[in-house]
Amino acid sequence: MLSLQLIRDHPDVVREALQRRHAQAPLDELIEVDRLWRQYTHQVETIRSERNALSKEIGQLSRLINDPQVDVRERRRAQHRRDDLVARSSFLSQQLEGLEAQLKEAEARLHQLLLQLPNIPHPRVPLGEGEKDNLVVRQWGDPPSFTYTPRPHWELAEHLGIIDFQAGVKLSGSHFYVLRGAGARLQRALISWMLDFHTARGYKEVYPPALVRGECMWKGGWLPTFAEFMYRDAEEDLWLLPTAEVALTNLHRDEILSPGSLPIYYVAYTPCFRREKFTAGREVRGIKRVHQFDKVELYKFVEPERSQEELEALVEDACAVLRALGIPHRVVLLCTGELGFSAAMTYDIEAWAPGSGEWLEVSSCSNCTDFQARRANIRFRREKGARPEFVHTLNGSGLALPRTMIALLENYQQADGAVIVPAPLRPYLAGQEVITPDDDRPLAP
């Protein structure tokens, strides 16, 4: 959420930022509602002040009227004066009741409108409308060369018997799948290894619930913008996580973090659930785009002046996973038109998938500045007794499993359809070095 004071003091800055993002946001309505809210606030405070003064004077007159030592004529004058003041106070109360209703309505609408404004892009974010305007900033590793035409992962999976697409449809419908044998073990190995990898780099592991209250979605910036893409239990207003980012943002909701507690680094594995409408074709073959997927998420709470430095470090932590696996990848700086709602700056990390012949996003690392912290009311103190400030939050996948699995299978495939297991994963697979079609068997302990 943007600072209301920023919008009041620099509306042109906010308007220009929205234009850079190509965002349709109700800024003009917000400015008008804010003007009305301040007007009603002033009127309410003025009337309350007058009514309080009247109440005080009425009390003084009442004591005068009830004092037998006061002259009768003086007491009559006091009675008349008190009657006039009581009538005025009654009129003000009626007027106040209407104004308070208008103030409450304006306040609610103002809050609704604030929640619809996206974050302001960082000055380093390139201008642009879509994917073609994103900027590739660096690449690691050369795409492997093959003496044969590399197979896409869905063909490899069928050959190896590790992904059952028909069973996924049978159980849950299109864009679900079942991992079998070595496929299930490989995914479990990736999750465990990535969690260990990141905890060794200073992240604290968290395992949150997969269902969170609607309030968490609002505070994390996922509602109202992304409501149509998420699964919800309407009866209890519980939402399935679209990403662990939602839960991790809310871990410190409505808290003031103590001096010296920052930075805080979290890593969390969760299943993730997203509703999407898919079209037929190669674009959605295999497990590239599905409704349920596993992901290891990285999250940071940091001091404001460190957030850009922490973003670069976050990208490095995600890229380090791909380097350790030996998977070619590149880092892409998103343009203004591609930024997520809460992000001020985002790098996508894309892994090369030779069988599919494309770069696949396996991580999206974002600096959300104080945007999420304002929504979730997460603050910190620099020292004891200091005024609380909003933290900056950052998030990124470390990594998303389906596409990391795709890149692994396609980069490490062999001519006979077998797949080499990258060295870091072998201890998590009881030393297994190669996945072959006959691997649907338990590994020796």
pLDDT at residue 282 above 90? no
What pLDDT is attached to residue 270? 98
pLDDT at residue 398 above 60? yes
pLDDT at residue 280 above 80? no
Residue 66 three-state SS:
coil
Per residue in 65-85, pLDDT (tens digit) is: 888 887 888 888 888 988 888
Active site (catalytic) residues: 274, 289, 361, 364, 403
Give the helix, strand, coil percentages of the chain, each rounded to 5: 45, 20, 35
Report the pLDDT averaged over residues 13-41.
96
CB 220 within 8 A of CB 372: yes
What pLDDT is attached to residue 442? 45
pTM for the predicted model, two decimal places: 0.91
Report the pLDDT averaged over residues 347-357.
97
What pLDDT is attached to residue 267? 98
For 126: left if phi > 0, alpha if psi spans -120 to 50, otherwise beta; the answer is beta
Short-list 327, 70, 37, CA closest to 190: 327
- Residue 294's CB is within 10 A of a number of other CB atoms, namely 18
CB 373 within 8 A of CB 393: yes
What pLDDT is attached to residue 445? 39
Q: Which residues contact 131 (CB under 8 A, 6 or more apart)?
A: 338
Burial of 346 (0-12, 13-18, 19+ CB in 10 A): buried
What pLDDT is attached to residue 278? 64
Per residue in 117-170, pLDDT (tens digit) is: 999 999 999 999 999 999 999 999 999 999 999 999 999 999 999 999 999 999
Domains parsed from the chain with CATH numbers: 4-114 (1.10.287.40), 131-435 (3.30.930.10)
**pLDDT band at 444, cuts 50/70/90?**
very low
90-99, 330-339, 384-393: segment of lowest average pLDDT: 90-99
